């Protein structure tokens, strides 16, 4: 940076601070945005003195929306220009811009390919016309044949063309990602969008139709991440079990997992966001039995009452879900399993709650998230009868959360005496194969454990879902 840059006021400098909210998919989007911005001559500045604050928002549930709004308002107090992007901005567009004048611009996914130009407009005070929200499920993606030539940009090679407008957002970097966080683990996006029509979920409307990245794109990015010091990649999407269906091969994930595990420098591959109704035997085997792939099942059960799941437009029941877990554990007895559950869905009876409690008790899950149902605009369930009052929903959430805490602590106790392979992420701390970043607990280590290394350790104590383990010095 030149002396002139240092003397300039924040409003004169093309510097941007990126704030990311929500899931790991948003983390990847932010890293792609960061790379595009640097390519357009913008400087990433986390000193608190950036001229623009770009907030990659989350719009999934009420709490996430509130967090996004609060973050935008807090950013406006800094004196910088404030720009909203991400799911909340896509979902509400002009409505958000009108109700939140503190934001200098509200951007759509379609603005990502020209993000540098959009921020230039904001910095120069040129008005930005926010998009009218649209149902992206009606914007058809390209056919597999039309996407045959797409490829990731790697150093020394030309960049692939951007996907056209209407795919939300363009999956995979057309320029290199720019890692915003350090550490030996990183998410890698398999796909964007979702074709399922769960009655409680608005995500398909603003994320669009399911679009798989081509396998060589994913593999190229895995190699690039390995070159950045990453040792574990976490495959993310709205529904990883759908990967490849729009490319004409629903078994692509099974065939790609061994290739990802074989990438030099990558020692563990983790698959997240699995849909139980689509979890075929071949994929169970690939996750449970492929060397270098974590035997870890992030299963979106949502409930276990068959009739209630049908009302959610989902499939399965207690017996079928326990059967899935039995298949996985037959191949990998120590497999990790996590899931989330919605409580208080319209029409949920006390018998449904008892059914779910029984399933949780039998399932021996490593991590459980319990969430209370709330209406989401534009979803089918928002118009359902049989709504429960907020107090009853909160009571059911509280009861099942207590049960979940007890059960996951018991599951952690079952690992006492076992040996776990731990990726050391901070001094004296890391994660075993059954633990995904930030959500599934940690392993505290005794012994020599360099950051970035994988170490074998014997579990000697459990503390809730967390473990204490002694490093094998051999």
Radius of gyration of the chain (CA): 23
Q: Which pLDDT does position 6 carry in this prediction?
A: 38
Summarize pLDDT for 342-382 with one digit per residue, the tens. 999 999 999 999 999 999 999 999 999 999 999 998 899 99
* Helical packing angle, 115-124 and 24-39, nearest 10°: 70
pTM confidence score? 0.87
pLDDT digits (tens, 9 = 90+) for 37-51: 999 999 999 888 899
pLDDT in tens, 420-450: 999 999 999 999 999 998 888 999 999 999 9
CA distance 153 to 157: 6
Cα 436 to Cα 279, 422, 429, 461: the distances in Å are: 19, 11, 13, 19
pLDDT at 285: 97
Q: Please list the residues that pair with 271 across neighbouring strands.
A: 235
Task: List the structure tokens of 66.
Answer: 């509130």
Contact 197, 240 (CB under 8 A): no
Q: What is the pLDDT of residue 127?
A: 82
Pairing of strands 185-189, 268-271: unpaired
Q: What is the distance between the alpha carbons of residues 221 and 218, in angstroms, rounded to a whole number?
A: 5
Q: Low-confidence residues of the chain, pLDDT below 50?
A: 1-11, 142-168, 171-175
CA atoms within 13 A on the CB side of 75: 31
**Confidence at residue 444, expressed as pLDDT on a 0 to 100 scale:** 97
The one-character DSSP state at 108 is -
> What is d(CA 294, CA 415) in angstroms, rounded to the nearest whole number?
16
């Amino acid at each position: 940076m030149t002396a002139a840059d240092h003397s300039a006021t924040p409003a004169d400098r093309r510097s941007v601070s990126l704030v990311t909210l929500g899931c790991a998919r948003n983390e990847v989007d932010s890293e792609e945005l960061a790379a595009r911005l640097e390519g357009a001559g913008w400087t990433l500045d986390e000193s608190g003195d950036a001229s623009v604050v770009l907030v990659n928002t989350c719009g999934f549930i009420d709490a996430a929306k509130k967090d996004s709004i609060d973050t935008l308002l807090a950013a406006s107090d800094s004196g910088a220009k404030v720009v909203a992007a991400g799911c909340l901005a896509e979902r509400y567009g002009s409505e958000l811009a009108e109700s939140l004048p503190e934001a200098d611009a509200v951007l759509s996914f379609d603005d990502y390919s020209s993000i540098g130009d959009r921020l230039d407009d904001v910095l120069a005070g040129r008005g930005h016309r926010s998009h009218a929200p649209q149902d992206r499920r009606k914007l058809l993606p390209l056919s597999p044949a039309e996407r045959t030539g797409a490829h990731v940009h790697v150093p020394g090679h030309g960049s692939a063309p951007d996907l056209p407008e209407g795919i939300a957002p363009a999956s995979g970097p057309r320029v290199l990602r720019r890692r915003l966080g350090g550490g030996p683990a990183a998410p890698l996006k398999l796909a964007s969008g979702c074709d399922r029509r769960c009655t409680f979920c608005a995500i398909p409307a603003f994320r669009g139709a399911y679009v798989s990245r081509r396998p060589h794109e994913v593999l190229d990015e895995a190699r690039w991440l390995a070159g950045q010091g990453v040792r574990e990649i976490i495959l993310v999407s709205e529904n990883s079990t759908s990967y490849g269906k729009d490319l004409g091969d629903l078994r692509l994930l099974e065939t790609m997992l061994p290739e990802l595990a074989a990438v030099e420098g990558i020692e563990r591959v983790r698959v997240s966001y699995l849909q139980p109704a689509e979890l075929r035997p071949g994929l169970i085997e690939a996750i449970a039995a492929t060397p270098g792939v974590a035997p870890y099942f992030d299963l979106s059960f949502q409930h276990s009452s068959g009739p209630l799941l049908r009302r959610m437009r989902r499939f399965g029941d207690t017996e079928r879900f326990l059967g899935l877990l039995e298949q996985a554990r037959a191949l990998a007895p120590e497999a990790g399993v996590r899931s989330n559950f919605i409580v208080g869905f319209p029409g949920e009876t006390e018998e449904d709650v008892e059914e779910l409690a029984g399933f949780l008790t039998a399932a021996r899950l490593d991590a459980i998230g319990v969430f209370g149902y709330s209406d989401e605009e534009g979803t089918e369930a928002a118009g359902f009868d049989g709504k429960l009052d907020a107090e009853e929903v909160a009571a059911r959430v509280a009861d099942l959360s207590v049960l979940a805490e007890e059960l996951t602590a018991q599951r952690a106790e079952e690992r006492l005496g076992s040996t776990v392979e731990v990726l050391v992420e901070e001094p004296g701390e890391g994660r075993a194969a059954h633990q995904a970043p930030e959500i599934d607990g940690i392993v505290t280590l005794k012994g020599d454990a360099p950051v970035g290394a994988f170490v074998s350790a014997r579990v000697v104590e459990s503390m809730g879902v967390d473990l204490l383990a002694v490093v094998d010095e051999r």
